[in-house]
Structure 1
């Protein structure tokens, strides 16, 4: 017999776990949560320092790759997405960045009414348990634990912050509060030494609720539609196709790749695209899969004079000791993602708010852990974070098992290329400050010979990697290319919503887990018909002379 639920949520990722918690909270609604992956209890997921393993493990991640990217020398870029309880919050780098206040004001300007910064801030606070306690900007009673790892014990973290100040930039003690711009400590979603994924924060405490059903190993095939109304979901478990019906709503939280693909599999999308893929058109909605955005980054690497970097901890014995300490006490190097200082700066005068982000790492090693510098080194990950290039997620066929085509068109827009030139030149200037004199011992990458625009552009095309922040492929708004409205309802289809990072109108300046969780917290109130949380009218610190200056030590 086909089961009936009030709500069906597709995807137990950063958004889906939040919704499962909030929609079952009052005990009045029966909720089904579908997830293709399985348990997130692996030590490699729970131990923060092991972050590179789950992302590159087929069991825990969809190992998507893009089509050849024409502006990156036709490279096919890796685009992993979580396939496990917690979704990408169980495989990500655990960096907690909300984004700049202006990023959310920009959403409202793009037609997402009620999603400006002051409207979103109460939901950031609601989600969070900030280790230093509550204030105007930070929450202390939410499910999501946020801290600074090992409090920057390694001196290289503080050297990076000091170098930024010496280069003429401001310091910010909390980039998630009033002032994003500047250099300071970085925050991570870790609680009591363990990864604090959306699954751990929102799902683990409620798994025994009688009104919540969780089915893992369930791959959604399509949304069941009748007369442009979502009736339920067809899904496959152990090779058998099943269906469930929704009395109230179906909510897609399958992420920026999965949600547009599932809409297209269901016959919702651009008419010509669907017909070409052999899918019967149920509703022409041309924006589905369009507007795709992502962050790129590369590693600026230097040799280190002193043997204080993580490159000295990569042997089997050292790794074993780190792992043993973590298992016994949940502290030490195993209890951090190692990105403990950071910065947000503007690439040039005339840029109103930061568009470059830094993650500092006291090691010279690839993000996936596959290649490390032979010796001691350190690096800073840097990227131009407000790209103007746009791509698409496009259904390849009517077969749900066939991955969609993913094309970001990275660096298509000339301003994105200029942004990365600024990344190279500004970063060099920062690392050459005297704060690094006792540590810096020569540039590994890009290399001192990379100087001209042409040389930088060629290096960037070959060296940049995705920062794993795909988003915006089912954008929120009211224009012809919008997929959902400001209530997260799919345009033209009743009883169907999308709630995940795909509905961002534009990509924020920062990592995406925090704003995705915020979006789900806020959407839950929309779904339940609750009055939105009160705006806080919190002050935002901005550079008043942004049109004339690129940096100032005091903002």
Structure 2
């Protein structure tokens, strides 16, 4: 076995969080850092082209392609959970939606024991991270994360979704991450608008682009790709390094200061358990020696579920371009020559947070896409030739909790994932209430005017019982797995403390979406990068290093 040099910090995973940490922990020059990533290069055309994520959705070269256990709440269906296996992690294969989340999400984090993670505090970190590029090309902020308003390049059909919102007296916002318009009686961010995306000059702007690539120019960063970490090395109750497999050989690296897991909500708890840190009875079942009985590792899993309904349109949508070979060719040439056109914009174009009847806060996220499409059995996308659009609703703050467990002691085996969807009465009621919002949107005057036909199943004729069953049979993940190593006040209810340190094991942290105390209301890429930026400052403070940049 070849023993690699020692580093101050070892970061497992070059995803959204790991890239941020690599940048922040190396920028002062006083620490040496090694990043170990299972995937390979992100320098691929269909990663960088914004519309290309449909082709990475099932590409095993860049995607873990996880499957979950039969889910009782969803009719025992087996869901597909893609996760990035590439430099940049899921920020290299996601839909590029940039949604901070709602203020009460983070106030609830603080109430759950993540002291110092309230909205007022995290808002400052968001502001420091972002450069916001408006549709007219002007910008504000000077952070590394480029957040672009792409409405001028979006499908003309998308304007109808906002007109439909106006029909229903739903607020229409210029920036879904902004505040409520002055004088309106609404919560911040409540309303519909064009989605902003992590796209820069017509190309995906991943965490690798924003953070890792600049950091690789520094002498104190080492990045190892194509390497699978198999366990955390410990002495007593201290993390001392990691063991990983790369290029056909096993290697070990020692950490002088800390080991940081940023492998994501699925693989961070998996790696803890493979290392003997987790529920003791489960570990012994697989013959794993128990380093620390930590019952909450892998527990508390949360995700967002959404149900979509499809409609044929009487106006041109993206189907007329992307669903036909000639249209694809024209769009491809346009993109190659100009980095513009329909391939330069994600398909998710209009979204927003809304309140169901009686809700105190916005509790549903709506998605409206100017296209209809499906995934073939081999994972390839199929865009309908005929013009269509979809309307989608997602309950924002589910209360159901699932789990992740080991399948075996073999590091190459995917873990078992059980979401336990719709396992609470509250989630079932919210699913029905969200479906009523979709019914209202579909029946708005504008949507009726542009709808040529409603496709089966038709949500408009469904009562509450049928709406719930429809949700069970058709809803699926929105790919926001989180909370499996959540922050909290102690090991009985959480895995990490409010500074992301694993309870009971020194010099070990988990910094990624698994540390969320509860899932945020919207897309999770933005809060994951925010969490990593704040956590990096804590790591530096706790190691008596230089001040962090943000």
TM over 0.5: yes
* SS of the residue 1:334 aligns to: helix
Q: Which of residues 484, 502, 506 in structure 2 aligns to 1:494?
A: 506
CA distance in 1, matches of 2:533, 2:177: 18
Counterpart of 1:408 in structure 2 is: 419
Equivalent positions of 1:524-539 (< 5 A) are 524-529=536-541
CA distance in 1, matches of 2:430, 2:197: 26
Residues 291-328 of structure 1: CA distance to partner in whole angstroms, max 9, x if unpaired?
A: 00000112121110123443443222221221222122
- Structure 1 residues 296-311: aligned runs within 5 Å: 296-311=305-320
Classify the secondary structure of the residue corresponding to 2:14: coil
Establish whether residue 363 from structure 1 lines up as the match of residue 363 from structure 2: no
Alignment RMSD (CA, Å): 1.8
SS of match in other structure, 2:494: coil
Native 8 Å contact 1:164 1:183 kept in 2: yes
The alignment status of 1:460 with 2:471, answered yes or no, reads: yes
Partner of residue 12, structure 1: 14
CA contact (8 A) 1:125 1:139 kept: no
Report how many residues are paired: 529
Contact (CA 8 Å) 2:58, 2:380: kept in 1 or not? no
User: Hey, what does 1:550 align to over in structure 2?
Assistant: none
Q: Who is 2:487 aligned against?
A: 476
- Structure 2: distance between partners of 1:372 and 1:174: 29
Aligned-partner Cα distance in 2 for 1:440–1:155: 15
Aligned to 2:183: none
* In structure 2, C-alpha distance between the alignment counterparts of 1:152 and 1:379, rounded to whole Å: 19
Distance 1:100 1:463, change over 3 A: same
Distance (whole Å) between structure 2 residues aligned to residue 523 and residue 447 of structure 1: 46
Which segments of 5 or more consecutive residues in structure 1 lack a partner in the other structure?
Answer: 535-555
Does the Cα contact within 8 Å between 2:96 and 2:198 map onto a contact in 1? yes
Q: Which residue of 2 aligns with 1:272?
A: 281
Higher mean C-alpha displacement, 359-368 vs 191-200 = 359-368
Secondary structure at 1:130 match in 2: strand
Q: Match for 2:519 among 507, 518, 524?
A: 507
Of residues 429, 446, 455, the one that matches 1:418 is 429
Q: Which runs of 5+ in 2 are unaligned?
A: 180-187
Structure 2 contact 265–485 (Cα < 8 Å) conserved: yes
Give how far 1:340 is off.
Answer: 2.2
Residue 93 (structure 1) aligned with residue 101 (structure 2): no
Is contact 1:73–1:462 with CA below 8 Å preserved after alignment? yes
Is the CA contact 2:321–2:331 (under 8 Å) kept in the aligned structure 1? no
1:145-187 per-residue CA deviation (whole Å, 9 max, x = no partner) reads: 1112243643332221121122122222222122211111211
- Which one is further off, 152-161 or 181-190? 152-161
The DSSP-based 3-state class of the residue aligned with 2:300 is coil
Counterpart check, 1:30 vs 2:39:
no
2:171 corresponds to: 170
Q: How far did 1:77 drift?
A: 0.4
Task: Name the stretch that deviates more: 379-388 or 489-498.
Answer: 379-388
What is the match of residue 105 of structure 1?
107
Instruction: Provide the residue aligned with 2:528 in structure 1.
Output: 516
Deviations 1:12-41 (A, max 9, x none): 000000000110101111100000000001
Please report how far the alpha carbon of residue 533 of structure 1 lies from its aligned counterpart in structure 2 after TM superposition. Answer: 8.7
Alpha-carbon distance in 2 for matches of 1:203, 1:282: 32
Corresponding residue number in structure 1 for 2:438: 427
Query: In structure 1, what is the equivalent of residue 77 of structure 2?
Result: 75
Report the equivalent of 1:145.
146
TM-score, normalised on structure 2?
0.93
Q: Encode CA deviations 1:95-152: one digit per residue, 9 max, x unaligned.
A: 000100100000000000000001101111222110039xxxx962111111122436
Secondary structure at 2:269's aligned position in 1? helix
The residue that corresponds to 2:360 in the other structure is 352
| TM-score with structure 1 setting the length | 0.92
Provide the residue aligned with 1:539 in structure 2.
none
Are the counterparts in 1 of residues 321 and 328 from structure 2 also a CA contact under 8 Å? no
Shift in CA distance, 348/281, structure 1 to aligned 2, threshold 3 Å? same
For residues 116 and 233 of structure 1, the distance between their equivalents in structure 2, rounded to whole angstroms, comes to 33
The separation in 1 between residues aligned to 2:549 and 2:190, in whole angstroms, is 27
Quote the Cα distance in structure 2 between the aligned partners of 1:404 and 1:428.
38
Aligned match for 2:410, one of 378, 396, 399: 399
Question: Does the aligned pair in 1 maintain the 2:38–2:227 contact within 8 Å?
Answer: yes
Partner of 2:255 in structure 1? 246
| SS at 2:480 equivalent | coil
For 1:295 and 1:165, the matched residues in 2 are separated by 26
Deviation at 1:424, TM superposition (A): 2.0
Alignment partners' CA distance in 2, 1:488 and 1:51: 31
